[in-house]
Amino acid sequence: MLNISHHSIRNRISLSQFKSGKKVSNKNYFKQFNRLSLVFLVLLIIVLFLPWTQNISGKGYVTTLKPSQRPQYIQSPIPGRIEVWFAQEGQLVQKGDTILKISEIKSDYFDSQLVVRTGEQLEAKTNSIGAYKGKVKALENQIRALQNEQVLKQQQAKNKMLQARLSLKRDSIDLKVYATNLSIAKKQLERVEALYTDGLKAAKEVEAKRLKYESNQAKYTSQENKLLESSNKLINAQLEQNRITASYRDKISKAESDLYTAQSLAFGTQAEVSKLANTYANYQRRKGLQYITAPQTGYINKALKAGIGETFKSGESLLSIMPANYELAVETYVLPIDLPLLHRGEKVRVQFDGWPAIVFSGWESISYGTYGAIVVAKETFISPNGMYRVLLAPDPTDHAWPSAISIGSGAKTIALLEDVPIWYEIWRQLNGFPNNFYQPKNKQEKKKKNA
């Protein structure tokens, strides 16, 4: 009873005469409660010192280990219109099987003989290259012939010039001879005239000497003319040689100009041929793109563009396909504060949605229904959800994952760290401290060896 009043009635009334008072006055149950409390306290103290495995929990979903094994969308690199479907949803298709046929919607590719006509244009341009090459070869031969003819003509002109020089030299010598004869004849005429004046020579001899003098004078004059003619011939020979050089230079330049023009046309046609060959290959490739084939063996999940005659843009997804052969993995997300505690090769426990499991996060040995996994990759850049992505692969030393797991189903992960007492874990949780910094045993052993 509560002793609220200062006037006690305990001494006036005996509570033992009442049934409720007898039960209240009996203090044996306090002893039992004290014993139970003591036992519970001892057990609690023992439990607080039991080992607790720190862990990092995360949520994710089932995926594939390799990117090439994940579901993919098939797009068309060209715009078009759906014509025929050769497969249906849920059907298994092999790599290279035709799934659907599309047709062109651009007017530039409506011609059904576009590839054939482009091939004919390519062949015509290729033949024109051969014609230009033949013209180039003919012009090269012409230039070579003109160069040879120029050499012969120049040699002929050199010979004529040499002949004219020798003729000039000969006429110059003959002129000196005639000049000497004329001088002798003049002296003889002067002596005979002097003797005739003295009466020692007859008039007949004077006339003979005068005739001889005049004859030599005529021969000298004629030789001067011949010398001038030889000089003119030498000048003409020099002019002829220069004319031949200029004439053949002009002819060869004209032929070379035609040669360069033909070569330029050949190169231009070669560029057109290359462009046409590229266009022809593109048309052939585009023709093959009208058939959408399976990139790998798998199941068709969903047709995103189903209607016959439905048009689509280039790069737009047409259907999704799931590869038939794949390796399971789990993609989970952890908080940024827990990322440094995860390392590649560490073991993780996984619980799949829909599979019964009893999980004690701190005591792995008494957990049931979880499967082993190994960290194979962790993202170094934060995801849009504010967490870091970690990829897990099945642990080959643990139980095999269920074969009935579907790609995309949910999963919960528990990464086990080091063991600490339970009291420490409670204290850490109450204070909001992170898990103890943890490194794998193999890294610790390496540090010890290096030390």
At 399 the pLDDT is 83
Q: How confident is the model at residue 311 (pLDDT cuts 50, 70, 90)?
A: confident
At 289 the pLDDT is 85
114-288: CATH homologous superfamily? Answer: Helix Hairpins (1.10.287.620)
Bridge partner list, 148: none
Please give the mean pLDDT across all residues of the chain.
80
Check pLDDT > 80 for residue 82. Answer: yes
Check pLDDT > 60 for residue 361. Answer: no
Q: Which two tokens stand for residue 64?
A: 């594939």
Check pLDDT > 60 for residue 207. Answer: yes
Q: HSE of 423 in the Cβ direction (CA atoms, 13 Å)? A: 7
pTM: 0.57
Q: What is the CATH number of domain 71-104+290-323?
A: 2.40.50.100
Which of 157-171, 316-330, 389-403, 435-449 has the least mean pLDDT? 435-449
Tell me the per-residue pLDDT of 221-244, one tens digit each, with 9 for 90 and over. 888 888 888 888 888 888 888 888
Check pLDDT > 80 for residue 201. Answer: no
Average pLDDT over residues 257-283: 87
At 438 the pLDDT is 59
Where are the CATH 1.10.287.620 domain residues in the chain?
114-288
In sequence order, the 6+-apart residues with CB closer than 8 A to the CB of 57 are: 361, 412, 413, 414, 415
More confident residue, 125 or 433: 125
At 285 the pLDDT is 87
Distance separating alpha carbons of residues 58 and 330, to the nearest angstrom: 11
Average pLDDT over residues 85-102: 89
Distance separating alpha carbons of residues 369 and 361, to the nearest angstrom: 12
Residue 359 to residues 105, 363, 393, 396, 434, Cα–Cα distance (Å):
59, 8, 20, 21, 22
Binning the chain into helix, strand and coil, the percentages to the nearest 5 are: 50, 20, 25
Where are the CATH 2.40.30.170 domain residues in the chain?
53-68+326-450
Where are the CATH 2.40.50.100 domain residues in the chain?
71-104+290-323
Q: Which two tokens stand for residue 99?
A: 């799934």
Which of 101-105, 184-188, 281-285 has the least mean pLDDT? 184-188
Bridge partner list, 171: none
At 358 the pLDDT is 57
Check pLDDT > 60 for residue 447. Answer: no
Average pLDDT over residues 140-165: 85
Which of 27-31, 53-57, 77-81 has the least mean pLDDT? 27-31
Average pLDDT over residues 42-49: 83
At 391 the pLDDT is 92
Distance separating alpha carbons of residues 196 and 202, to the nearest angstrom: 6
Tell me the per-residue pLDDT of 365-419, one tens digit each, with 9 for 90 and over. 555 568 888 999 888 888 888 889 999 999 888 888 887 788 888 888 887 766 6
More confident residue, 346 or 28: 346
Q: What is the largest CA-CA distance in the chain?
A: 226
At 5 the pLDDT is 60
**Could you tell me if 347 and 374 are in contact, meaning their C-beta atoms sit under 8 angstroms apart?**
yes
At 445 the pLDDT is 46
Check pLDDT > 80 for residue 91. Answer: yes
- Annotation: CATH topology of 53-68+326-450: Elongation Factor Tu (Ef-tu); domain 3 (2.40.30)
